[in-house]
Amino acid sequence: MSPVDFESHRSELTAFCYRMTGSVHEAEDLVQETLLRAWKARDRYDPSRAAVRTWLYRIAANVCLTALEGRGRRPLPSGLGVPSNDPGAPLVPTLDVPWLHPFPDARFDVDARADLRLAWVAAVQALPARQRAVLVLREVLQFTAAEVAEQLETTTAAVNSALQRARAALVDIGDAGEIGEPDDPEVRAVVEKYVRAFEAADVPALTRLLADDAVLEMPPVPLWYRGSRDYGRFMERVFRMRGSGWAVRQLTANGQPALAAYAPDPGGGRRLHTLQVLTVADGRVTRNAVFADPLVLDAFELPGEIPANECARER
């Protein structure tokens, strides 16, 4: 067995560990540990008992469960408290909370992105770790109950029971199919309009694109808003503070449209400000999760600034 046999599974293993932990950086470390353990144990691998992929997931699941022992979940602000109605509230980050991070699609070859949706991953974080593992292995990766029982060193009955409890806990998160794909023409049209309005600091145009109950949240700041009115009032504050003349680069995260927002720099050019992950459904933006954490920005390998001469070319 060669290292290539293991490396071909790196992307999907990273997605699995991300669903388990809610952090890309942590997922990459856990996958590295998984592949190292697999390489050391390669002489003990028995192909008559399981395919290489199944065997790797057994190792990855146990690596994740060990890492998650005694740890709390990674939330988004909307999962912790009530929304604010004060657009001028202090933007104080809460750094002792291990916030959920987005997933940089462009860096990984992952097929099942529907189950990487931010809302879904956030909801899964609330499950006990073993229920989380069962749900992902059974529902997302389509392993049989018997295979998952072998991977988690438990019984088929225990797997089925854990899956039932996990499904019941997630019943209120909605249908991922209701969320538009980034390459859907209607979604692209909404995002293009949002980008034009954002770059122009046109708050009325922005709010016309929002669902009535749209959510805006900004980890690591625990503050969040619900409703197009409060969303718009907060954006007015942002543009007063940062000015107009923003630039936006489009990408995807968690199988959703995402925007890298560059704020105008007093010295010329524009500097990376935030990564914004949009949820679009029924022709409206229903949620915007805005990330300013340098670890998140690093994971997306975004340029830190757009030079002034490039800004001029863009205009």
Three state DSSP letters for 77-133: HHHCCCCCCCCCCCCCCCCCCCCCCCCEHHHCCCCCHHHHCHHHHHHHHCCCHHHHH
CATH (domain of 258): 3.10.450.50
For the stretch 223-268, pLDDT in tens is 999 999 999 999 999 999 988 889 999 999 999 999 999 999 887 8
**Each residue's pLDDT tens digit, 35-46:** 999 999 999 999
Note whether 286 and 155 are same-domain residues: no
pLDDT, tens digit, 9 for 90 and up, residues 199-217: 999 999 999 999 999 999 9
In a domain, 18, yes or no: yes
Crossing angle of the two packed helices 10-21 and 52-68, in degrees rounded to 10: 30
Pair 148, 137: CB distance under 8 Å: yes
- The residue range of the domain holding 47 is 3-71+128-169
Q: Same domain, yes or no, for 161 and 308?
A: no
Q: Is 49 inside any structural domain?
A: yes
User: For residue 66, what is the domain's CATH number?
Assistant: 1.20.140.160
Show which of 169, 193, 226 is a domain's final residue. 169
Q: Determine the length of the chain.
A: 315
Burial class (CB in 10 A: 0-12, 13-18, 19+), 261: buried
Q: What is the pLDDT along the chain (315 residues), one digit of tens a residue?
A: 565 578 899 999 999 999 999 999 999 999 999 999 999 999 999 988 889 999 999 999 999 999 999 888 899 999 998 999 999 999 999 999 999 999 999 999 877 666 899 999 999 999 999 999 999 999 999 999 999 999 999 999 999 999 999 999 887 665 544 677 888 999 999 999 999 999 999 999 999 999 999 999 999 999 999 999 999 999 999 999 988 889 999 999 999 999 999 999 887 889 999 999 999 999 999 999 999 999 999 999 999 998 766 644 444
Residues 163 and 46 in one domain: yes
Query: To which residue do tokens 């049209």 refer?
Result: 189
Total domain count, the chain:
2
Is residue 252 within 8 A of residue 116, CB to CB? The reply is no
End-to-end CA distance of the chain: 54
101 lies in some domain = no
Tokens for 35?
């592949």
pTM over 0.75: yes
**Virtual torsion, Cα 296, 110, 146, 32, nearest 10 deg:** -50
State whether 48 and 182 are in the same domain.
no
293 in a structural domain: yes
- Identify whether 94 is part of a domain: no
Question: Do 13 and 162 have their domain in common?
Answer: yes
- How much is the pLDDT for 257? 96
Same domain flag for 43 and 153: yes
Residue at a domain's end among 140, 169, 198: 169
